[in-house]
Amino acid sequence: MKTQEDGLSRRDVLRAGAAVSAGVMLSSHGRMFAAGSDKIRVAMVGSGNRGTKDAIDCLRADPAVELVAIAEVLQDRLDASVKKIRSRFPDRVKVTPATSFVGFDAHKKVMAMPEVDMVLLLTPPGFRPQTLRAAVEAGKHVFMEKPGAVDPVGVRSLMASADLADRKKLSIVVGTQQRWQPQYQELMRRVHEGELGEIVGGQAYWNWGSSKWHWEPRQAGWSDMEWQIRCWPYFVWLSGDHIVEQHLHNMDVINWATGSHPISCIGMGGRQARTGPEFGNIWDHFTVEYEYPNGVRVMSMCSQIEGSTSRVGERVLCTKGATVTDRSMGYIEDTRGRKVFQYTDPIHSGEVTQFKNLIGSIREGKPLNECRRIAETTMTLILGRLSAYTGRALNWDWAMNASKLDLSPEKLEFGDLPVRPVAVPGKTRLT
């Protein structure tokens, strides 16, 4: 089935308006949100490819949203993003030179703006825990891209921010858009209602026949830090490796289906096709067996290898059949692999819906906090990476409670930043 554009129909706008008029709430700084007439002022932290699209989707989601400020570390990215968003929404982009901030402390400046109601956290995930904490401490509602962190110390910070957001009645919605896709919702409902019996296992894949996402040759004049920020997916401290950065989407579906997270895993992988120093220190393939409660075992695999077969999606195996999903379809097969149900209603990407629901939660005063859930899914993939990197079977409780791994560099500044060695199983130590 072809995915429809996740836009706003007239009916959606009317429905949103009705929901809004039923509820009135105070923002963090005491401003009223009422009857859809009041503005929601948004700031971006990071304004690259996905972030620019997210900001556009946020503006599409609600006619009363205005973009008022941007925090970036690269001026060219900020300028290009403002230009692109303004070309779509000339009247609702209120960013000025005075509200454009560049530097590693730029996010603090948007958090200090009392008129900002909501921030979009759109940097590489290595910066997510600290920008999230700053947002929640400043009383801002949050949309944040996945993943939530790159190491266990970052995951624990997410958990603390989730608690604080609850206490402050703030919403945090995360860019796991498949959670809002109708075919996923329908199949997960059937799993949760027991139509397929008990869950006994599953498979998750992000095998990508592509290997140069966000890669460009290093240019003379770029410091180590600038190179790493511009090509961030290739550096573990920024991306968590592609198992965390990309495969998170599939394991989030498995965690959703099981309503839990793994208790242990054993993983392996390496770097075979993409080996040069120009590709930083990440690997190009992983496979991990996860054990969930009740003996449920899930095989996960992900690769970024040019020319290899692409398979991106999930299977949830149950005693009476299995769900098979990806972002464009969903069906159920029986225990002999015969298709017994196909989702045939229109499918949308969930990318505007996630903002509609976030904004709805703010207007209605019913905070929607997905932070704990993304912290657990992020840890699921970090656990797999740590197991593969070290060659050791690992327990969830150790990673969640005892690991001291914190990949952030000592200094955040444009200058020298040597690349840490590529992990080698049996030699790379657990931290």
Ligand X SMILES: NC(=O)c1ccc[n+]([C@@H]2O[C@H](COP(=O)([O-])OP(=O)(O)OC[C@H]3O[C@@H](n4cnc5c(N)ncnc54)[C@H](O)[C@@H]3O)[C@@H](O)[C@H]2O)c1
Part of the chain binding ligand X (CB under 6 A), chosen from 44-52, 151-159, 198-206, 281-289 = 44-52
| Residue 294 CB coordination number (10 Å) | 11
Helix 152-168 / helix 371-390 crossing angle, nearest 10 deg: 170
Does 357 bind ligand X (CB under 6 A)? Our answer is: no
Does 28 bind ligand X (CB under 6 A)? Our answer is: no
How far from chain centre, in Å, is Cα 340?
32
Part of the chain binding ligand X (CB under 6 A), chosen from 33-41, 72-80, 217-225, 366-374 = 72-80
Considering the complex, what minimum distance in angstroms separates the CB of residue 304 from ligand X? 13
Closest CA to 418 of 250, 263, 281, 262: 281
Does 71 bind ligand X (CB under 6 A)? Our answer is: yes
Does 350 bind ligand X (CB under 6 A)? Our answer is: no
Does 123 bind ligand X (CB under 6 A)? Our answer is: yes
Q: Specify the residue, 49 or 87, whose C-beta has the smaller distance to ligand X.
A: 49
Does 100 bind ligand X (CB under 6 A)? Our answer is: no
Which one-letter DSSP state was computed for residue 95? Answer: -
Considering the complex, what minimum distance in angstroms separates the CB of residue 294 from ligand X? 30
Concatenate the DSSP letters of all residues of 209-260 into one string.
S---TT--PPPTT--HHHHHHHTGGGSHHHH--HHHHTTHHHHHHHHHHHTS
Considering the complex, what minimum distance in angstroms separates the CB of residue 342 from ligand X? 24
| Residue 15 CB coordination number (10 Å) | 14
Binding ligand X by CB under 6 A: which of 50, 88, 411, 420? Answer: 50
Please check whether residue 150 is in contact with residue 234, taking contact to mean a CB–CB distance below 8 angstroms: no
Q: Specify the residue, 204 or 322, whose C-beta has the smaller distance to ligand X.
A: 204
Considering the complex, what minimum distance in angstroms separates the CB of residue 196 from ligand X? 27
Which one-letter DSSP state was computed for residue 279? Answer: G
Give the separation between CA 112 and CA 103, rounded to whole angstroms: 15
Binding ligand X by CB under 6 A: which of 16, 46, 134, 417? Answer: 46
Considering the complex, what minimum distance in angstroms separates the CB of residue 280 from ligand X? 14
Q: Which residues contact 266 (CB under 8 A, 6 or more apart)?
A: 288, 289, 387, 392, 393, 394
Which parts of 192-251 interact with ligand X (CB under 6 A)?
Answer: 214, 229, 232, 245
Q: Which residues contact 249 (CB under 8 A, 6 or more apart)?
A: 146, 176, 178, 206
Does 132 bind ligand X (CB under 6 A)? Our answer is: no
Q: Specify the residue, 124 or 267, whose C-beta has the smaller distance to ligand X.
A: 124
Does 73 bind ligand X (CB under 6 A)? Our answer is: yes
Does 124 bind ligand X (CB under 6 A)? Our answer is: yes
Q: Specify the residue, 175 or 360, whose C-beta has the smaller distance to ligand X.
A: 175
| Residue 394 CB coordination number (10 Å) | 21
Proportion of the chain in helix, strand, coil states, percent, rounded to 5: 40, 25, 40
Does 274 bind ligand X (CB under 6 A)? Our answer is: no
Give the separation between CA 190 and CA 257, rounded to whole angstroms: 10
Helix (H, G, I), strand (E, B) or coil at 277: helix
Does 125 bind ligand X (CB under 6 A)? Our answer is: yes
Give the separation between CA 143 and CA 369, rounded to whole angstroms: 10
Binding ligand X by CB under 6 A: which of 6, 57, 62, 72? Answer: 72
Closest CA to 255 of 321, 197, 184, 303: 184
Query: What is the contact mask toward ligand X in residues 151 to 180, using x (rule: CB under 6 A)?
Result: ------------------------x-x---
Does 83 bind ligand X (CB under 6 A)? Our answer is: no
Binding ligand X by CB under 6 A: which of 106, 132, 155, 196? Answer: 106
Considering the complex, what minimum distance in angstroms separates the CB of residue 217 from ligand X? 16
Q: Which amino acid is at 135?
A: A
Closest CA to 403 of 180, 149, 193: 149
Does 45 bind ligand X (CB under 6 A)? Our answer is: yes
Does 127 bind ligand X (CB under 6 A)? Our answer is: yes
**282: which 2 tokens?**
């990440």
Considering the complex, what minimum distance in angstroms separates the CB of residue 98 from ligand X? 18
Considering the complex, what minimum distance in angstroms separates the CB of residue 82 from ligand X? 12
Q: Specify the residue, 107 or 261, whose C-beta has the smaller distance to ligand X.
A: 107
Q: Which residue ranges make up the site for ligand X (CB under 6 A)?
A: 45-51, 71-74, 77, 104, 106-107, 122-125, 127, 145-146, 175, 177, 214, 229, 232, 245
